[in-house]
Structure 1
């Protein structure tokens, strides 16, 4: 690409990358194990989220629970929470990811009224109230979730605030992402190499993002989309590798940073925890063990919507 070529916006960079890998995104055996571990951990933490769910067998079960899965990808968090919610709506900037999400949803024989995703962007500051999402079906969610997504968001405070605005008062935002300093290198057989703690998933950084990022983080490049699970074969192509690099802003977060940007976004009852065990991944063609963090915050009961 020549130096005079126009620079992709972050949403465009994410769309380009994830459209390319949608059909191979989560098919590796190690990926299935990561997804299962995340599923087990989050399902064990239903009470931790702090909202009534459906179908848990508790006397406090809710009749209707609505989930917004943002940067939904192929639908990991939608699948995790599916037994405990009654309606799921997904949004993603990648048309191909949305198509995969909906294909998998239809394969479960659930109707679109129960689970469906659309292409869209809630974080565009030039279009803060997109008409596409102005209807009541896109407001007052009980739960908003973003799985392995925030490392692709340009302004994490803005992102958290936009998702908070989609919640009902008392509704919860839940995210997962990667812990800064939580990586271990892996040997050729995929075994963890003790004593190699650090940040090993990305190697090309620049400072970017909200004020906390500027002070504390060297970040990879750019805004909007998700996941951190990447197929090595995709990275054999320079163009795809460039698209990946262009989609990542903050490759990992400290617990304090996440707590701070949740709080700055206006969320309360914020908590940030880590999974007990690291997970094996192949990130950008690099074999490593990563530490996953989970964060939750609640929209204040007394807060009025700005939408």
Structure 2
């Protein structure tokens, strides 16, 4: 009598399987079955042929606006691109403004500060990213997107998988990692994000201080001078801008210490932009025509 039992075994080559993690594109999944039995009282076994498949590459991408500020010096737009597929993939970048395609320059924002520095950041000459690992995110800058204008126009940045785009399920035979197929995922293998360049953008004001005591130390003692710096950053036009700062209690203004962008202002209310008295300092910046940074400095003495 022939008594047989089937034992199925499957092996993953290339990468180990992790629960809840998507198998990487290009992984070769090999499956071999075995049969063991007894014949004439002796154990015997035989193997099936081995079936091997290559996990297809899913093409997906995500693109979002970065939280980095829009810097007035370069008018770059910062975005974050994520390869949300399961394979190594590069992405072609483009942009359009108010629906019209325009020449686009992109750079990798190496330190993620939202500003382009030619000595540090990497220009993408062909507007194509390097191949990104599955799940990897790349900080990017669209350069010169606004031409210095914040007039309410809308710029849209587009990222498309280099292997191909299309309706979900579209297959590119043999073009995936490891020689497998590439299949378009739910995003269509492309993503876009739009940024409205608002003419009424909100400026920011940052304040720093330093202390110099009569004995040369930085101790906040009687007679010590506190130097304040106010940095107003405008990402677009602003009308009738003005900075006011009440003097701290227990201090007195140091006459003649009021500066605007390094230039001295008079303390009296007269023809120039500044005014200072025992209660407060005030500087009228006027109308700001475009992105700019204005700096106000003054000193007080601890009583």
Q: TM-score, normalised by structure 2?
A: 0.22
- Larger fraction in strand: 2
Report which of the two structures shows the higher radius of gyration computed on alpha carbons: 2
Q: TM-score, normalised by structure 1?
A: 0.22
Higher relative contact order (CA 8 A, sep 6+): 1
- Larger fraction in helix: 1
